[in-house]
Amino acid sequence: MSPAGENGTPVPGMDLRHARDGLSTAEVRERTASGRINSVPTATSRSVREIVQANVFTLFNGVVGGCFILLLFLGQWRDALFGLSAISNSLIGIVQEYRAKRSLDQLAILQAARSTVVRNGTRESISSEDLVPDDLVVLNAGDQVTADLLLLGDSPLEVDESLLTGESEPVPKTGGAVLLSGSLILAGNGRATVLRVGPDTFAYRLAAEARRFSLVTSEIRRGLEKVFTVITWLLLPTALLLTNAQMQDQGGWAGALGSGRWIPAAVGAIAGIMAMIPLGLLLMTSVAFAVGGLRLARQKVLIQELAAVEVLARVDVLCLDKTGTLSSGSIVFDAIHDAGTARAAGWRAALEWFGANADASSTAAAIGAAFPVQRPLQEQDSVPFSSARKWSSATFGPESAASGTWILGAPDAVLGSAGSARAHDKAAALASTGLRTLALAHLPAPLPSGAADSGLPTDLVPVMILTFRESIRRDAAATLDYFRRQGVSVKIISGDDPRTVAALAGAVGFGSGAAYDARTLPLDRLQLEEAVEACDLFGSVTPSQKRDLIQALKRRGHTVAMTGDGVNDVLALKEADLGIAMDSASPATKAVARLVLLDGRFERLPAVVDEGRRAISNIERVSLVFLSKTVYATVISIVTGILLLAFPFLPRQLSALDGLTIGLPSFFLALQPGGQRYAPGFLRRSLAFAVPAGICGALCVLAVSGYAQIWSGHSQEAAQSAATVTLGLVAAWILVMASRPLNVTKVLILAGMYAGLVLLFTVPLTQEFFRVDWPPAGLLVPAVAVAAAGCGAIEIIGRLTRRRPAAGGPGLGPLTLEPASREADGGNAGHRDGPVSR
C-alpha cells in the first residue's frame, strides 16, 4: 500500500491566512461536528458479549446444561456434579480472553501523543485525537506524526518511517511531501497541514486487515474439534438407544411413565450421555494453557490467546524482522577509517561539535555518544544538514583547536567535491558491507559565499570516513543459536537494504551469505516457495511481500512464527501461525500478535518455547486418559442400548471415578515440568492408544455388569458397585500408562489415586453419597480378576503403541516425545514426523 500524494502539492484552496493563522474556532467546530476528527476505533478483539457467547453457548455446553437442569429439576442434584466441570471450563476461557481483550483494547494505532497546532493565529497543544483536516501542525525533532500530513515550506526534515516500512534509514522530506501517521521526526522543524485523519490514515488502513479477530492455529484444538464432531453425531442416536433401554429395563415405556420409574431411567440415560463427553479434557487443556500463560506473565510475556502457548512447541521456522528484533533500531558509532590523506589537526574537536549539536539527527547523536564533550567549540558559522545537500558544516576561527571549515555528510556529496579516488573506493567498500557511512572533509578557510546553494568547493581535503551500525541486541546471538540447536530454521525478513541485513546477520553469527533482494522475488507461487526455502536472509521486503513469504512457508508445510515491531509487520504477523511482538512495537502490531515480549528481551523466546513444550506434552498425556474414557463410555452406552441392559453406573459414580482416576491426577499431570520436542500427530498418537484401551475397559465393565445382572442375579446396586470397582482399576492403569516415565511426584499422585479408590468404598459418607459399597465376594473376585486382565491388556497396548517402527520415525504411541537435550539427530528429532522432510 502506498500513500496517495507522496509528491503532492499544497492543498487546494489553501490561502496565506491559513498558512499563517491555521483554522479558526468555527472551522474546527464544523469539522468536529461532522465527525472528521483523528479518532480511531481501538477495539481490536471480540466484545464481552461475543466472548461469553463463544465460551458458553456451545453444543456440548447446551447438552451438559440441559442434563444438569433436568437432574436438578428431578431432585437428583448428587448426580449433577458434572456441571461444575463445564462451568469451570467456560469461566477459565472467559476470564483469560477478557484479560487479553483489556490489554488489546488499551492499544491504539498510535501511542498516546499530543500535537502542537496553530489555531486562530496562536499555538496550542491539543490531544492528537482532536486533530481535524486542514489543521496547521507545528513539527519539531522528536515529534510523532499522528495523522497524515502535507509538509509546507522549504524546511527539510529527517523522518523515521521504520514502523511503517521496516526501513531504518531516515527519509528526507521537503515541502510538498506527505508525512505518514506513525512516523517520527528525527531532525529539522517546520509546519504541515493535516491531509487525512482517523480511519483514513495510512497507518490505520495498513493495519485494518489485521484487526479482524481470528483464533490461533492450534493442532490440539483441531484434534479435539474432530473428536467432538464424531461425538456430536453419536450423541443423539446413543441418547435414544439409552433412553429406550432404560425404559425397557423399568418395565417398558407405559409402565415406567405410569409408575414414576422413568426418573431412574432418565438418570441412567443421562449418565451414559455425559460419560461420552470429555468435559474434563477441555478443562485440563484450558488449565494447562492458563498456567503456561501465568508462568510466562512472570517473565514479562503477555499471552493474547491461550492456545498460543502450544504453537511455539510446533514451530519449525522462525521469521524475524531485523529492526527492533535483532537490533534495537538505534544507530551506534562503529569506527573511523583512513580516507587516504593525512588527518587534519582538530578532527576530534570537530566531531565533538557535530555530536553536541542540539538539533542533531540520530547519526549525529551516535557521534555525540562516541565523542562526548561538556563544552563544544564555539563556531563562527555553520550550515545545517539538509536532505537536498546531504551535508552540514561548521567553521571555526584561526585561534580554535579545529580552525577552518569541517564538512560532514554523505560520501557521494562530500567526496564528490574532494575528488579522492581512494576515499571514494574506501567509502563504497564500507557501504557494501551494510554499514552506514559518512565522510568528514576539511577546508582551511571559510566556505565560499553561497556554497550551501551552489555546492561545495573542489579543494576539500578528505579527512576520514566514519561508519555506523545498528545497535544489536546483546541476547540476539545466543537466542539464534538456541533455535538452531533445536532444529528451528531462522529467517530474517527486513525492509532494510539487503547489504545492511547481511551485515547485521553476520554480526550475530548468522552467516556471511548475501541477502536476497526482495525487489527481484518471483511472482510465481512455486518459484516463491523455492526461493524462501533456499534463502534465510531477505532485504528490501515490503509489508505485502512479508505476508507472501509467510504464506509460501506455510504452503510448504511449515509451522511459522514471526516477530516484529512495526505496522509494516502486521500483515505477516496476522498470517503467521504465531505472531510475536516486541515491547517497542506499534500498538497495531501488539494487537495482532499472540505473544508480546513486554520487556523487549529477545532472550525470552527460549523460555516461551519450553513453556509451550511443557503444556503440549502434558496435554497429550492427559488426553490419553480422557479420550480412553470417551471411548469406553461410548461403547458401554451403545452396547447397553442395543442389548436393552440397565446402564451400569449412576452419574455420581462416574463423577467420582472421573475425579479420582482422571480429573485430580490429570490436573497435577498437566502442571508437570517438561522440555520435550513435539512431534506432529497429536490426535493420531492419542487415539492409537485410547481407542484400543477404551474398548478393553468397556469390555471389562460389560462383562462384570452382564454377569452381575443376568447370570448371578445380584441387585442393581451390587452390580453398579462391581462395575465401579472394575472401571476404577482399569481407568487407574490407563493413568499409570499415561504418566510414564514415572518420577517421585507422579508416584505420589498415583498412590493418592489408589488410596482414594479404597476410601470411596470404605468411608460411610462417600458410600452413602455415591451409593457404592464393597460388592459381595461372589462379585468382587470376578470384578478384580477381570480388571487385572484388562490392565494386562492395556499394558500390552501401551508397549505396542510406544514402540518405534523400523524406519526410526516416531511411533504411534503417546510417549514419542524426545528430550530437548538430545542432540544426536542434529536438532531435528521433533520434526521427522512433520509434513516436510528436513
pLDDT recorded at residue 481 = 86
pLDDT band at 555 (very low <50, low <70, confident <90, very high): very high
Give the side-chain half-sphere CA count within 13 A for 416: 10
What sign has the CA pseudo-torsion 470, 471, 475, 477?
positive
pLDDT recorded at residue 189 = 81
Mean pLDDT across the stretch 613-640? Answer: 84
Apex CA 756: angle with CA 753 and CA 621, to 5°? 20
For residue 161, report the phi and psi dihedrals to the nearest 5 degrees. Answer: -110, 25
Q: What is the pLDDT of residues 703-754, one digit of tens each?
A: 998 888 777 677 888 888 999 999 999 999 998 998 888 888 889 988 999 9
Asked if residue 6 has pLDDT above 50, the reply is no
Asked if residue 43 has pLDDT above 60, the reply is no
Q: What is the pLDDT of residues 444-453, one digit of tens each?
A: 888 888 777 7
Asked if residue 214 has pLDDT above 70, the reply is no
For 363, the 3-state DSSP assignment is helix
Average model confidence (pLDDT) across the chain: 77
pLDDT band at 418 (very low <50, low <70, confident <90, very high): low
pLDDT recorded at residue 579 = 87
Distance CA 699, CA 795 (A): 16
pLDDT recorded at residue 470 = 78
84's grid cell:
461444575
Give the side-chain half-sphere CA count within 13 A for 354: 33
Ordered by where they begin, the domains of the chain are 16-35+110-200 (2.70.150.10), 53-94+215-252+261-295+609-815 (1.20.1110.10), 296-327+474-608 (3.40.50.1000), 332-469 (3.40.1110.10)
Q: According to the 3-state scheme, what is the secondary structure of 25-83?
A: HHHHHHHHHCCCCCCCCCCCCCCHHHHHHHHHCCHHHHHHHHHHHHHHHCCCHHHHCHH
Asked if residue 759 has pLDDT above 90, the reply is yes
How do strand 136-139 and strand 190-196 relate by DSSP bridges?
Answer: antiparallel
pLDDT band at 796 (very low <50, low <70, confident <90, very high): very high
pLDDT band at 612 (very low <50, low <70, confident <90, very high): confident
Return the CA Rg of the chain.
35
pLDDT band at 834 (very low <50, low <70, confident <90, very high): very low
677's grid cell:
520436542
**Residue 757: its H or E element:** helix 744-760
Q: Which of 140-149, 572-581, 722-731, 811-820 has the lowest mean pLDDT?
A: 811-820
pLDDT recorded at residue 810 = 33
pLDDT recorded at residue 569 = 77
What sign has the CA pseudo-torsion 219, 221, 223, 229?
negative
Cβ-contact 554, 528 below 8 angstroms? no
Asked if residue 458 has pLDDT above 90, the reply is no
Mean pLDDT across the stretch 453-479? Answer: 83
Q: Which of 390-404, 648-662, 696-710, 768-782 has the lowest mean pLDDT?
A: 648-662
Cβ-contact 318, 344 below 8 angstroms? no
pLDDT recorded at residue 401 = 85
Asked if residue 795 has pLDDT above 90, the reply is yes
Q: Which of 483-487, 586-590, 698-702, 785-789 has the lowest mean pLDDT?
A: 586-590
Asked if residue 339 has pLDDT above 80, the reply is yes
Of 546, 543, 539, the residue nearest 562 (C-alpha): 546
134 is catalytic: no
pLDDT recorded at residue 823 = 32
When mean pLDDT is compared over 86-100, 111-125, 252-266, 804-818, the highest value belongs to 111-125
* Model confidence, pTM: 0.62
Distance CA 608, CA 311 (A): 10
Distance CA 203, CA 184 (A): 13
From the number of C-beta atoms within 10 Å of its C-beta (0-12, 13-18, 19+), residue 174 rates as middle
Q: Which of 63-77, 103-117, 804-818 has the lowest mean pLDDT?
A: 804-818
Asked if residue 501 has pLDDT above 50, the reply is yes
Q: What is the pLDDT of residues 245-278, one digit of tens each?
A: 767 666 555 555 555 566 666 666 676 677 677 7
Distance CA 208, CA 386 (A): 35
Asked if residue 78 has pLDDT above 70, the reply is no
Question: Among all chains, which residue has been given the C-alpha cell 440441559?
Answer: 66
Q: Which residue has the higher pLDDT, 588 or 108?
A: 588
Mean pLDDT across the stretch 584-606? Answer: 75
pLDDT band at 630 (very low <50, low <70, confident <90, very high): confident
Asked if residue 74 has pLDDT above 90, the reply is no
pLDDT band at 510 (very low <50, low <70, confident <90, very high): confident
Asked if residue 207 has pLDDT above 80, the reply is no
pLDDT recorded at residue 440 = 92
Which residues is 254 bridged to in the sheet? none
pLDDT band at 812 (very low <50, low <70, confident <90, very high): very low
Cβ-contact 361, 187 below 8 angstroms? yes
For 137, the 3-state DSSP assignment is strand
pLDDT band at 758 (very low <50, low <70, confident <90, very high): very high
pLDDT recorded at residue 641 = 81
Of 675, 557, 511, 532, the residue nearest 315 (C-alpha): 557
pLDDT recorded at residue 329 = 64
Cβ-contact 612, 592 below 8 angstroms? no
When mean pLDDT is compared over 152-156, 247-251, 804-808, the highest value belongs to 152-156
Q: Which residue has the higher pLDDT, 541 or 82?
A: 541
Mean pLDDT across the stretch 619-627? Answer: 83
Length of the chain counted residue by residue: 838
Q: What is the pLDDT of residues 648-695, one digit of tens each?
A: 887 778 778 877 887 777 767 766 666 556 667 778 888 999 999 999
Which of 134, 143, 249, 321 is an active site residue?
Answer: 321
pLDDT recorded at residue 692 = 95
Which residues is 115 bridged to in the sheet? 126
633's grid cell:
463410555
Distance CA 71, CA 80 (A): 6
pLDDT band at 7 (very low <50, low <70, confident <90, very high): very low
Asked if residue 14 has pLDDT above 60, the reply is no
pLDDT recorded at residue 107 = 42
Mean pLDDT across the stretch 565-588? Answer: 76
What sign has the CA pseudo-torsion 565, 566, 567, 569?
negative
pLDDT recorded at residue 686 = 87
Asked if residue 32 has pLDDT above 80, the reply is yes
Of 337, 356, 343, 344, the residue nearest 445 (C-alpha): 344
Mean pLDDT across the stretch 697-706? Answer: 92
Asked if residue 808 has pLDDT above 60, the reply is no
When mean pLDDT is compared over 437-451, 569-583, 604-618, the highest value belongs to 437-451
pLDDT recorded at residue 260 = 55
Asked if residue 512 has pLDDT above 70, the reply is no
pLDDT recorded at residue 785 = 95
pLDDT recorded at residue 791 = 95
